Chains A and B, each alone.
Chain A
Amino acid sequence: MIRFENVGVRYGSGDEILKDLSFAIKPGSFQFLTGPSGAGKTSLLRLLFLSLKPTRGNIRIFGEDAATLTNVELPAVRRRIGIVFQDFRLLDHLTLYENVALPLRVRGKDERGYRKDVVDLLKWVGLSDRIDAHPSVLSGGEQQRAAVARALIDQPELLLADEPTGNLDPTLARRLLRLFIELNRNGTSVVIATHDLNLMDQYDARRLVLNEGRMQIYD
């Protein structure tokens, strides 16, 4: 699905913050991406989401060389990936329903065609009673689940989540993890960036550990 070969990343003229990364994300796989703060987890997620270009090395994504993708081709690739941002990035002027439906709306799909899917998904993440609420009146946990729902609505082949439990209490964090596991069982590859050891201890999955820019993999 995604393959990194000797990928390095440097900001400006500073030292490389990611060095010689070589690994693959396989279809249907589940992995935690972890490491201390500043280890480069968010930069690696940005590489996976094609919002950052590597300084060196090669990235192949869904069979394509990422370096050869044009700006016109990028949206089509990105639509196969769902991303949950650490700060949710919900649009405050839209309701929860509209936020979750946004990926479908920007693809020009008919609202009546996806209405049931959006409502079902919001019910599934436990937000059925908040469908018409605006994000500004939701708790951090509710916003987090709405962000997850938005990432999942178009059935992505790969889900990337950046510190998805960072704003949640342990109970909610466990529930969210179960959601990701269930999603993975249904065929979606999952990469969760976290430094929450308790969360990782709850599920036996592959761990990609970043430390000082280098990666160690524990299958």
Chain B
Amino acid sequence: MTEPIPTHYARSQKAAAEPPKPDPTMRDREPQSIVPRESVAGSALTTVIAIMTFLASLTLGAVSLVNDTAQGWQNEIAREITIQVRPIADVDIAGAVASAQQIARSFAGIVSAEPVDDSATKALLEPWLGAGLSLDELPVPRLITIEIDAANPPNLEELKDKLASSVPGASLDDHRAWLDRLTTMATTTILVGLMIFVLMMAATILTVVFATRGAMAGNQHVIEVLHFVGAEQTYIAGEFQRHFLLLGLKGALAGGGLALIGFFIVGFWAGNNIADPASGQVSALFGTFSVGLSGYLGTGLLIFVIALLTALTSRYTVIRHVDALDGTKAVA
């Protein structure tokens, strides 16, 4: 401290030209991040984000699975209708079935119309009426199963009227009552799933916001020092936003990635054990039990949103803190 004052900030003197000398203190230095990289609060935040993203992703996957399955139920049942031909005295039932089949095939939007043959009808009735059944002795209605083009469905009312007027004893069963019940059940299931997902997202958002604010509390002295050395608000906010975006991305990728791997493993397992009796029951209800594209894309979006949320929370916290520092009035 007895050396003359350095020339660069001697306001009234001109800098004296000095030949450069090799000096170890002048070496290149790797710049450290202005925001502390390693901290217990930062690690805890990453862990919290990873856990919440994992749980939210699982919920999203489950909702996506239920949604796809419920849609599938409706589509499967809506793709088939049945014509029933009741036996009537003095009417050739085989001819009536052939007429009904002919009428059905004449309608646009019908992919196929196949009568359930006698052997299949007997097989259907065998559990109740026993073997060796003679259909001619019993007033058993004949069935025609019709597969319809779901994308271009036929006019069912018109088909119904035409059958009633042209074929004695014929009626059309479009499974409306069953379909309505199933639609109600599927819609309820989807709504419950969505409600659970919304609650899960609310819990995730609140947890991430409060955990970020908690982690930011440990950095208030950094914000104050940067502010007092003349850093602009946008500079400070940018530094923290970048740091917390990385923390959020790290946690969200860990949690979301784990969930995606889980979806893939379950889907793979279900696909390879479809012949197994237990998985047969599962696949009857849930198809291939695999999360669809919407589940994978949704989880990707979730990872991005949670990382962004973390960054924006840190930015907002910095801006509020700096505003409070600048706006401090002695009067409360």
If the complex has contacts A120-B8, A126-B1, A155-B11, are A75 and B330 also in contact, measured as CB distance less than 8 A? no
Segment of B60-68, B103-111, B223-231 engaged in the interface with chain A: B223-231
CB–CB B331/A124 < 8 A: no
Chain B residues 268-308 with CB under 8 Å of chain A are none
Tell me, yes or no, whether B47 is within 8 Å of chain A by CB: no
Tell me, yes or no, whether A26 is within 8 Å of chain B by CB: no
In whole angstroms, what is the CA distance A186 to B180 when docked? 90
Chain A residues 3-50 with CB under 8 Å of chain B are 9-13, 43, 46, 49-50
Please pick, from B230, B233, B330, the residue contacting A55 in the complex, using a CB distance under 8 A.
B330
Tell me, yes or no, whether B31 is within 8 Å of chain A by CB: yes
Chain B residues 1-41 with CB under 8 Å of chain A are 1, 3, 5-13, 23, 25-26, 29, 31-32, 34, 36-37
Q: What's the dominant secondary structure at chain B's contact region?
A: loop
Tell me, yes or no, whether B235 is within 8 Å of chain A by CB: yes
- List chain B residues, Cβ under 8 A from A102: 34, 225-226, 229
CB–CB B332/A13 < 8 A: yes
CB–CB A106/B226 < 8 A: yes
Tell me, yes or no, whether A163 is within 8 Å of chain B by CB: no
Residue of B nearest to A123 (CB): B3
Tell me, yes or no, whether B221 is within 8 Å of chain A by CB: yes
Residue of B nearest to A132 (CB): B29
Residue of A nearest to B326 (CB): A71
If the complex has contacts A9-B330, A12-B331, A131-B25, are A182 and B5 also in contact, measured as CB distance less than 8 A? yes
Please pick, from A53, A74, A103, A152, the residue contacting B330 in the complex, using a CB distance under 8 A.
A53
In whole angstroms, what is the CA distance A125 to B328 when docked? 33
Tell me, yes or no, whether B323 is within 8 Å of chain A by CB: yes
In whole angstroms, what is the CA distance A178 to B228 when docked? 25
In whole angstroms, what is the CA distance A55 to B38 when docked? 41
CB–CB A49/B36 < 8 A: no
- List chain A residues, Cβ under 8 A from B328: 46, 51-53
CB–CB B34/A179 < 8 A: no
Which 8 A-B pairs rank lowest in CB-CB distance, beginning with the nearest? A187-B11, A106-B231, A79-B230, A120-B6, A155-B9, A103-B229, A93-B36, A9-B330
